[in-house]
A and B are shown apart, each in its own frame.
Chain A
Amino acid sequence: MTMAALPPDWPGGFWLHWGVFVVVIFVFVMATIMGFIWFERRAMAIMQARLGPNRAGPFGVLQPVADGIKVMLKEDIVPAKGDKVVHWLAPVVAFVPALMIFAVVPFQGGAILADLNIGILYIVAISSVTTVGVFMAGWASNNKYSLLGAMRQVASVVSYEIPVVLSIVGVVLLAGSLSMQQIVMAQDIPFILLQPLGFLLFFIGALAEINRAPFDLMEADSEIVAGFHTEYSGMKFALFYLVEYGEALAISAIVTTLFLGGWRGPLLLPWLWFLIKVILVFFVIVWIRTTVPRIRIDQLMALAWKFLFPLALINLIITAVEILVWPAGSLWVLVPINIAVMIVLVLLWSRFFKLGWGKVEV
């Protein structure tokens, strides 16, 4: 790659760089979230043999804009028995970290707000704060379903945090750095080939952390009305909606950066490659949502603690051994080995435990 890994010296220095990238991040996040909302509804509709939104604008592209205007004109209902201050504060606490993740996402070589040398650790740290906002929402609503949904959310995030973070360690081992740009630069072979098991674990865990289907039982409409945002309406609800898609976007961007080679690719412009890969990952998320049925809470917990966590540890140890045994040679040799290891481990480990059958209390 000819692109430099470090930010170029802007003529205006600090403030110009900051101003440009704050605008870039806001435009990127808002535009992509709008696009994703439309894309998800449309793609799901096509997969389910429906039409989906098709009235506002060509192919319903303006549907998110119409939703935004509608939601802004809605009455803001606050439960009388709730904690009003926390109820107001919760969307802010949930939204801000979801936006802050993009400070260290590299859009292309040099195009990054802050190339922290602890980039991925920063993402792990800050993305957990959203859960605090969600729990604040569930608690402040003084609604039993909201509290139940929030508790489920916290329990699932706490459980899936460990396999997710452990599978990131595998990537860090290969790249030898925590900086997002360095990780991208290290991917002469995309890490999805060198870390197939790590990718699988990270993707499943990330889906659970952002409570997308099939792990969306903390906001399951049919059992606990809508979970933590039952009592939210108007703009506050819109912020939670933004958080949901912002996190999906963040996960797509992180998967792209860590496993799919980030902005690197032949022929096309680097930021275009980044965008294409992000949309591709998001498409897979939508695809999983339409395909897999929702799982139960006991299955959710068992999957995290009995399947993902041991496999993540084994993956970590295997990667560490590989790096020490094969430090300088061509990494292509490791690709078939790692894929074979993944298949064997997943098949073997799924026989080790039962997910639990019969009646289960919530």
Chain B
Amino acid sequence: MLADYGYIGLLLVVAIFFAVTTLLLPFFLSFPSRLVIYFRRFTQYLETHYPFLVRFIPPLPKFPRFMQVVPYNPNPVKSSTFECGMETIGTAWVRFNFRYYFYALVFIALDVLVVFLYPWAVELRGLGLFGLIAALVFIFIIVIGYIYAWRKKVLEWK
């Protein structure tokens, strides 16, 4: 049994490695393009602050065209957040409607019910009628809360 969890843990490592590599690949492919941009920013910075140093910077080697096939060319408009083509107003990190959290609260109550039903379901044949009655009492208690929530209109989208 322990070996099975070993398999899963090692698969997790491979999956994370795969996802991270996939994300890093375009970064490395766009590295020449990035270098050009970074270099331009650096020279601009020097020109404004230390103009006498500019003549000492060696020029950037010319990259062949095929190495710059993945572009990197950000500008303020491109990297602003999208908002239907208008200028972005404010931030999205604001207080959110409470409506969504009602469902989360009901979910927490009912999810506990479900978790306890799993071991019960595996062993029901062994437990017999007593097991069924015990589970019914348990479900009954939760269902009272559920009906209360329904009557209080928690489940309505209002």
- Seen from chain A, the residues whose Cβ lies within 8 Å of a Cβ on chain B are 14, 17-18, 21-22, 25-26, 72-82, 88, 91-92, 95-96, 99-100, 103-104, 113-117, 121-122, 139, 141-147, 151, 154-155, 158-159, 161-162, 165-166, 169, 172-173, 176-178, 225, 230-231, 234-236, 238-239, 297-298, 301-302, 305-306, 309, 313, 316-317, 320-321, 323-324, 327, 356, 360
Contact = CB atoms under 8 A, between A and B. Distances in A.
Can you list the 9 inter-chain pairs with the closest CB atoms, starting with the nearest? Answer: A298-B157, A114-B4, A80-B79, A172-B121, A114-B7, A92-B19, A143-B81, A305-B155, A158-B107
A301 B103 contact: yes
A356 B157 contact: yes
Given A100-B8, A169-B121, A75 B135 contact: no
A163 B96 CA distance: 26
14 contacts: A18-B11, A73-B29, A79-B81, A81-B91, A143-B83, A143-B92, A158-B107, A159-B103, A161-B107, A162-B110, A165-B111, A166-B114, A235-B23, A313-B139
Contact of B114 (A99, A162, A235, A320): A162
A278 to B, nearest CB: 20
B30 A76 contact: yes
B22 A22 contact: no
Contact of A302 (B80, B83, B157): B157
Given A297-B157, A317-B139, A76 B104 contact: no
A76 B31 CA distance: 12
Contacts of A154: 100, 104
B39 to A, nearest CB: 18
A165 B114 CA distance: 7
Interface residues of B, number: 68
Given A142-B93, A305-B106, A234 B26 contact: yes
Given A162-B111, A162-B114, A236-B23, A155 B15 contact: no
B129 A231 contact: no
A82 B29 CA distance: 23
B61 interface: no
A14 B3 contact: yes
A58 B137 CA distance: 61
A324 B124 CA distance: 8
B143 interface: yes
Contact of B117 (A82, A169, A239): A169
A121 B121 CA distance: 12
A141 to B, nearest CB: 7
A235 B136 contact: no
Contacts of A297: 157
A297 B100 CA distance: 11
